[in-house]
Amino acid sequence: MEIGKESPKMGTNVSKLCTRLKARTAQVGVIGLGYVGLPLALLSARGGFQTTGFDIDPGKIEKLRRGESYIKHISAASVTEEVEKKRFQATDDFTILKEMDAIVICVPTPLDKHREPDLSFVLNTAEVVSDHLQPGQLIVLESTTYPGTTDEELLPILERGGLKCPVSPYTIDGAIVTAHDEVEPDFFLAFSPEREDPGNKQFQTRQVPKIVGGVNASSALAAQALYQSMFEHTYLVSSSRTAEMAKLLENIYRSVNIALVNELKLLCMRMGIDIWEVIEAAKTKPFGFSAFYPGPGLGGHCIPIDPFYLTWKAREYEFPTRFIELAGETNTAMPYHVVNQVAAALGQRGKTLHASRVLVLGVAYKKDIDDVRESPALKIMELLGTEGALVAYHDPFVPRLGKMRKYDFGLQSIALTPETLHAHDCTLIVTDHSAVDYDLVVDESSLVVDTRNATARVACHREKIVRC
């Protein structure tokens, strides 16, 4: 859809903003410089916008100012280039927000201890933005959340200062955006879900189509103008709620299918069938089947968390979300299954889990990245420790496990050598990093419990391997 094919004619405020966005003369602010915000801020700078990244962590700000990166798949060179060209700056001074034309919010949306949505980061950020909100500014939320957050939660906070952005329906017909009884907004508000996939070398940030939904037509068009200047493709939807739901559908789809294959794995184990061979056979069908793989549980910020945002919101409508809840139960139970399998494998060798030395191989939530958010390895390590096991870990991407929101192991990654493998009663493969020599792991370990089928191509000493 091209900017300028809307009906009726754009108001003065949005027309001016779209002109600046298309000309790259607008200033862009990104709040939250984590796995979503930092790539977006650098993309904005490379796209020609004067870009400011905002974060409350002074350590991140100092590293970025020095041209350093704290995220493995983002090179220091990519940061240095934008800093030296003066297209990107990082700050913890949120008063500068008033100078921005567009402000994108990329802050965490975790679950609380009762597994209910914790919107505190989003709402606190909205309060800060509200304090500095200027007429004609565009605010976009990218943090994954339940449908209605943008217009029900953010909008009232942003309007407290007197500026208004009335919610108004609009329709889309091909490239034509039609507003219905829209009053020209003082500022603009939209939702555009992040679609980052850390470590994915096939799709870079700008190549992933950007979904955009506004609380009114002007907001939708302004947000589309922003993202069309950064991304190869944008996809406009008819409301912020539709955009919010689209992101949840993406993650629920994956959660349910992973739960299905995890459940089938447990059944196949009882039936003496190799689930991995089953999947390889099924995926030869050229239509109607997408391969999902079992594992030790779900990790990352999206799949283990986002579905529960919709489950929580669905209660307001007295609607049970059985698939989501059942998938959550199945996936949440997988770390317990893994620990039980370790205990059983040790038991077959005359050892108990208590006081056994277990080396966890890989603590990132997926291979070849440094991201440990919601990693199943963390729960597995906690459960092993509760049972009295002596736990160490090796991960080439995660040198240290410091204090986190739910865990505080105080451990450092140990070297993967014949000596360290000999010193442990069990090597537990939780993350299948490509750089690991799995032949060495099997050769030198007395027992290997493999949750990822990482040892499938190891030919020797297969009697040591327990797949679970």
Of 18, 268, 302, 468, catalytic? 302
* Strand ranges inside 386-457, DSSP E: 390-394, 400-403, 408-412, 426-429, 448-450
Structure tokens of 366?
A: 């997926």
Query: 247, 359, 382, 240: which is closest to 309 by C-alpha?
Result: 247
On whether the CB atoms of residues 188 and 158 are closer than 8 A, the answer is no
Helix then strand count (H, E) for the chain reads 14, 18
Q: In what order do the strands lie in the sheet with 50-54?
A: 88-91, 50-54, 27-31, 102-105, 138-141, 188-191, 210-214, 234-236
Structure tokens of 82?
A: 């934008």
What's the chain's length in residues?
A: 468
Structure tokens of 124?
A: 């606190």
Q: What's the one-letter identity of residue 292? A: F
Q: Is 460 a catalytic residue?
A: no
Which residues, 6 or more positions from 81, have their beta carbon under 8 angstroms from its beta carbon? none
| Catalytic residue list | 302
